[in-house]
Structure 1
Amino acid sequence: MYMLRFIEYFNLTIAVVLTAAYAYQLVYLFIGFIRRNRPDHTIASTQHRFAVVISARNEANVIGGLIRSLKEQRYPSELLDIYVVADNCTDNTAAVSRAAGAFVYERFNKVQVGKGYAMDYLFRRLHAEGRDDYEGYFIFDADNHVDPNFVAEMNRTFDSGKYAAITCYRNSKNFGENWISAGYGLWFLREARFLNFARMQVGGSCAVSGTGFLISGDVIREKGGWPYHLLTEDIEFSVNCALEGKTIGYCDKAVIYDEQPTTFRQSWDQRLRWSKGFYQVDAKYTAGLVKGCFKGGRKGFACYDMLMTVAPGMLLTLLGIVFNAIILVACLSEPPYIAALIIDETVNFLVMAVVNFYLGLFVFGAATLITEWKQIQIPARHKVLYLFTFPIFMLTYVPISLSALVRKVEWKPIYHGVASKGLKSGT
């Protein structure tokens, strides 16, 4: 009976720890669900001078569309320069980018591979050439499509002078292609509405995610480039901002459309890199974030928020599942009446862990679907169908997280090829 009581306490402890740690995000959920966007009549005092930075590897089939959408911005063209780093390309990405009107730098480095290194290379080149006097830098991926009002809206938020960086509303070009692209799409909309939007409402600091964000030129000059080279350089930058007390803002009116993977193989590779990158961030920054949590005020909360964002909560859940599975096997050698009690306890935990995981994600997905219904540009029946597959998509993170824990992971390119036709702004 001692073993049974130990199992009960162990399972209860995991449930309590996870619930307590992430309870604050229920407040985010409440805020995101009931707080609607209000018209922003703020007028920027200055139209600031920006540069666009695009790191591209063999993206000739999509990068021209991105550059065209940037050329069509409702913002003075003389205040927006476009730079492309053709990074280890073996196709004509550089030629297509030049023809579309971008300044192109070609980089060939098979040792320092990845977006972070490519960005750092460009920032250092611009500094060496005396062309680094921009007030801010937009970061895009080659597959993006940018809403015509994007730069003007980001400029309005940037003009407040309060933010080291600003992130945006990230929609999808190919949301309805299949359950994988829909899983990504719903997750990024959830991130916009129920994380970054809510953070802004409570006066917190947001997090940048991959693409579609603006970094203050002062931050780049202060850092001497882009010193963030982990597999998830975006989350590394966000964590660093929290530790240094810098605030990241969010502009709900600035919209980009991002292309999502549609095959499980590509999705696995991409999310494996993300998971490994999060572990790298955990190893490098957890001690600092824990210490920062005790600073109090906005900085303390930002550190806690980022700690929960990067914390391997999935591993704690997996620990519970593995522990119960081991006990389930081990108890077979116990007397029948004791084995029956232990089996009942462990099976109940395993079943409830899966059910609660599914239902929790279903609730988040449903809240996102309800609030962002008009922004998801696919038939209604498909929206509802993909709501039910969303938790399954997220459940596939379980083997991915385990694999990332033990495997060596390197950056791999993701194929892009979705056109940007028929996209509409919608926040």
Structure 2
Amino acid sequence: MRTLEIVNIFIAVFFVAAYAYQVIYLIVGLVKKPEVPKETVMNRIAVLICARNEEAVIGQLLASVRQQTYAGQYVDIFVAADNCTDDTAGTARQAGAIVYERFNRERVGKGYALEFLLDKMEGDGKIYDAYLVLDADNLLDEHYIEEMNKMLCAGHRIITSYRNSKNFGSNWISAGYSLWFLRESRYLNQARMTLGTSCAVSGTGFMVHRSIIEKNHGWKHFLLTEDIEFTVDSILQGEKVAYCKDAILYDEQPVTFSQSWCQRMRWAKGNLQVFEKYGRSLGRTLGREHSFACFDMLMTIMPAVILTFLCCLLNGAAVIVSAAYKPVYLERIMAEAGFALFNVYITLFMMGFITVLSEWKRIQASGFKKILYSFTFPVFMLTYIPVTASALFKKVEWKPIRHDISKSLEEVRMRS
């Protein structure tokens, strides 16, 4: 019994020590906003889209790119139709994109598709000032490229954006994703930007200056979470990822638990891969000047949820053993376990609820659903425990997530 208490206290102290700095992020995200650059010049932007069987949604994305307030003559769209079995390529060409078709069943994943696309563009002599990476299911606010270009003109070489969702109100799963990305935008990346440390690229909606692509000799990040790998590698090279709060992107979230499990299994495995590849390098920077960004990324990729899983396993085993051999301790153990679970739920609920309140006007859903899904958000987050535990032991490969919400920007903005 005493051993169990010590282990639980140790794990609790570890989490507080490791992630207490994010309380500062929360306060900064609530009370301060980063400055928005004013002066701009027109840069030539290449929009890069890697698409696999995205015929149903890519047309709406391309329409939102064409409807930008940024001058169209400075923007070209390139699509890598990656191992497609539908008419993604034809739909993209019809909408005015330059399309390269790729068929490679061995090197599978977004990183390989980006490498292919950039190599093809270089071979055709297509060089741009910056490259905007999007997913086929995205939609862009009409000022998106204009706002990202302001950050580019201010000297930032890697820029990520505000990630909103097309389908917050579909169910508790899509809302769980949505709240996580909204929180990441407001209370992680915006706070990081305000405090002058590095932000993190999150999947889609990021811009990279030509000099970064040239320094890296194209795209060289191929782990299951190529976005996090790119972020960590860039920070280790001395780069700083910026955040543009006024560049708003909408993307589609999974609505079935099986899809969600598959996707988050890849994310969990990918973070483990990044930790294995870069964790030691990040650790070696601690204590040096300007090392906080490395510490922040180390905490981001560290598989801390494994400790949570072990804690649950240990407490569950204690309940079973007590029930069988020492029932006198059973009530106390169950009470402590229930109290710990309640504290975790409340912490996650407050995290989601604060995000809902602060981003209320930007969330495209009814008020009832916004409140309802604040209560289900902790449940969604707790399902990461079995997902990550499975990723430890299972071989995980990149698999496409089906997207079929074909809505225009105006339709998404209609609250449902």
TM-score, scaled relative to structure 1: 0.93
Alignment check: 8 A CA contact 1:324 1:349 kept: no
How many angstroms does 1:37 deviate by? 7.2
How many angstroms does 1:264 deviate by? 1.1
Question: Structure 1: which amino acid aligns with 2:288?
Answer: K
Q: Which moved more, 1:398-407 or 1:4-13?
A: 4-13
Question: Any gaps of 5 or more consecutive residues in structure 1?
Answer: none
- 1:211-222 equivalences in 2 (<5 Å): 211-222=204-215
1:340 pairs with 2:328: yes
SS of structure 2 residue aligned to 1:231:
coil
How many angstroms does 1:321 deviate by? 1.6
Match of residue 121 from structure 1: 116
- 1:11-410 equivalences in 2 (<5 Å): 11-35=8-32, 40=36, 42-44=38-40, 46-131=41-126, 133-161=127-155, 163-297=156-290, 300-331=291-322, 336=326, 340-341=328-329, 343-410=330-397
- Residues 379 and 225 (structure 1), Cα distance of their counterparts in 2 relative to 1, 3 Å cut: same
How many angstroms does 1:350 deviate by? 2.3
Alignment check: 8 A CA contact 1:33 1:367 kept: no
Alignment check: 8 A CA contact 2:37 2:151 kept: no
Q: For 1:422, which of 398, 411, 414 is the aligned residue?
A: 411
2:182 and 2:204 map into 1 onto residues whose CA distance is 14
Question: Structure 1: which amino acid aligns with 2:298?
Answer: L
Question: Structure 2: which amino acid aligns with 1:306?
Answer: M
How many angstroms does 1:344 deviate by? 4.5
SS of structure 1 residue aligned to 2:312:
helix
Alignment check: 8 A CA contact 2:50 2:81 kept: yes
How many angstroms does 1:122 deviate by? 1.0
SS of structure 2 residue aligned to 1:201:
helix
Alignment check: 8 A CA contact 1:49 1:79 kept: yes
Question: Structure 2: which amino acid aligns with 1:99?
Answer: Q
How many angstroms does 1:5 deviate by? 2.5
How many angstroms does 1:47 deviate by? 1.1
How many angstroms does 1:399 deviate by? 1.3
How many angstroms does 1:6 deviate by? 2.2
Alignment check: 8 A CA contact 2:34 2:193 kept: no
How many angstroms does 1:296 deviate by? 2.5
1:424 and 1:267 map into 2 onto residues whose CA distance is 24
How many angstroms does 1:370 deviate by? 1.0
SS of structure 2 residue aligned to 1:67:
helix
1:65 and 1:370 map into 2 onto residues whose CA distance is 29
SS of structure 2 residue aligned to 1:68:
helix
Question: Structure 1: which amino acid aligns with 2:118?
Answer: F
SS of structure 1 residue aligned to 2:197:
coil
How many angstroms does 1:36 deviate by? 5.2
Question: Any gaps of 5 or more consecutive residues in structure 2?
Answer: none
1:31 and 1:119 map into 2 onto residues whose CA distance is 35
Q: Percent identity?
A: 48
1:8 pairs with 2:19: no
2:212 and 2:358 map into 1 onto residues whose CA distance is 34
Q: List per-residue Cα deviations over 1:274-305 (Å, max 9, x = no partner).
A: 111111111111111111223222xx100000
2:153 and 2:54 map into 1 onto residues whose CA distance is 33
Q: List per-residue Cα deviations over 1:130-157 (Å, max 9, x = no partner).
A: 22x2111000000111111100100001
1:220 and 1:400 map into 2 onto residues whose CA distance is 34
1:200 and 1:345 map into 2 onto residues whose CA distance is 45
Alignment check: 8 A CA contact 1:136 1:214 kept: yes
1:333 and 1:144 map into 2 onto residues whose CA distance is 54
Alignment check: 8 A CA contact 1:8 1:345 kept: no
Q: Which moved more, 1:150-159 or 1:373-382?
A: 373-382
How many angstroms does 1:407 deviate by? 0.8
Alignment check: 8 A CA contact 2:34 2:194 kept: no
Aligned length: 413
Alignment check: 8 A CA contact 1:124 1:224 kept: no
2:259 and 2:13 map into 1 onto residues whose CA distance is 35
1:138 and 1:228 map into 2 onto residues whose CA distance is 16
TM-score, scaled relative to structure 2: 0.95
